[in-house]
Amino acid sequence: MVINLQKTKFSGSQKIFDFLSPKIPDGNFLAFNSHELKIFRKGSQNVVLTAQHRTSSINLQKTRRKFKMKKRGQLKIQQMAFMLVAVFLFFVLAGLFYLTFVYKDIVDSRNKAFENQAAMMAKIVADYPEFSCGKEKESEYCIDTDKVIIFNYTRYKGFFPPTYIKIVKLYPESSTEKVCNLGNYPEDCNVYNVYNTGKSSTASASNFVALCRWGTNDAIGRVERKCDLGKIVIGYEVKNA
């Protein structure tokens, strides 16, 4: 037998025991949980009320308050939900923190790789056939400015890894920077903008190099290689973490 207290109507001061006692068969027990009152048979394994419980009267108002425990249970669930949200947010924040470090490490590695590549390019660009002067195994670190001045970098767009390649004539010295073109080459300029991808460069690597071209040696009246001292500058992109 189960009596649902939520559905049962009581008068204001009625004692629950008084209300229930006629309904409980002799020798059986009364038990309740937060939802309902149950009457169990003798010898039941479920919660069994003691004789004291059976004989004492329960104030209906107090009993009703017990059933308000459902609301307290809801509060506990809310507490737990808040706790779970807090734990979840903690993990999310910890994850974001970790990812920031990982991302920074990846960006650093990427910048390092680009820096190494630029440094390497600064050393070897003079050996690329597009810029190199002289024959195989000869004329190391020599750039043929006759090739550089006619180098069509739009044809080679995206071919070389750096963002730009620039060659600066260091000696003979010049007080002003003049970009070389077919009009002022070779005597009246000192900067060759060899290659430019248009990407922003925030760092560069450089190396000294010989800048040679075919020219007439007035002293002997013969055509020979004329060389100056220059610097090759390789630009690369640095990303911020």
Partner 1 sequence: MNKKALEFSFSWIFATIIGAAIISLAVYAAIQIAKTNTGAEETKLSKELTVLFEPLETKTASGLASAVKLTQEVRIKSSCEIGGENEFGKQKFQLMAKAGITKKWSGQGGNASINHKYIFLNKTADGKKFYFFTKPFNMPFKVANLVYLTSDKYCFVIPAGSQFEFVRKEMGDFQSELDNIKVVTSQAECENGMIKACFGVSGSCNIAVTGDRDKGIVKKNGKDMNYVTESFMYGAIFSDYDTYTCNVERLMKRLRAETTMYVREAQLLSGRCGSIPISSLINFGNNIPKNFESGNAAAGALMVSLAASLEDQNQAVECGLW
Least distance in angstroms from the C-beta of 10 to partner 1: 26
Asked if 181 interacts with partner 1 (CB under 8 A), we say: no
Interaction of residue 161 with partner 1, rule CB under 8 A: yes
CA-to-CA distance for 180 and 150, rounded, in angstroms?
10
The first and second tokens of residue 82, run together, are 């808040």
92, 84 in Cβ contact below 8 A? no
Least distance (Å) from partner 1 to the CB of residue 34? 9
E strand spans, 99-178: 142-144, 164-171
Nearer to partner 1, 85 or 179 (CB): 85
CA distance 226 to 234: 24
Contact by Cβ (8 Å): 148, 165: no
- Residue 6, interface with partner 1 (CB under 8 A)? no
Residue type, 212: C
As measured in angstroms, the least distance from the Cβ of 59 to partner 1 is 26
Q: Which of 202, 135, 196 is nearest to 167 (CA)?
A: 196
- Is the C-alpha dihedral spanning 139, 140, 145, 148 positive or negative? positive
Beta pairing class for 203-217 and 142-144: parallel
150 binds partner 1 (CB under 8 A): yes
Nearer Cβ to partner 1, position 52 or 152? 152
Q: Which of 101, 159, 171, 208 binds partner 1 (CB under 8 A)?
A: 159
**Candidate list 152, 175, 176, 240; residue touching partner 1; CB under 8 A:** 152
Residue 22 binding partner 1, by CB under 8 A: no
Tally Cβ neighbours within 10 Å of residue 8: 13
Site string for partner 1, 26-65 (x = CB under 8 A): --------------x---xxx-------------------
Q: Is the peptide bond between 172 and the residue preceding it cis, with omega within 30 degrees of 0? A: yes
Binding segment (CB under 8 A) for partner 1, from list 4-12, 49-57, 202-210, 211-219: 211-219
> What DSSP letter does each residue of 173-215 carry, written as one string?
--SS--B--TTTTTTT--EEEEEE-S----EEEEEEEEEEEEE
For residue 156, state whether it binds partner 1 (rule: CB under 8 A).
yes
Residue 232: both structure tokens together: 């090759």
Footprint of partner 1 on this chain (CB under 8 A)? 40, 44-46, 73, 76-77, 80-81, 84, 87-88, 91, 95, 98-99, 102, 105-106, 109-110, 113, 116-117, 120-121, 123-124, 127-130, 132, 135-138, 140, 146-147, 149-152, 155-156, 158-161, 182, 214-216, 223
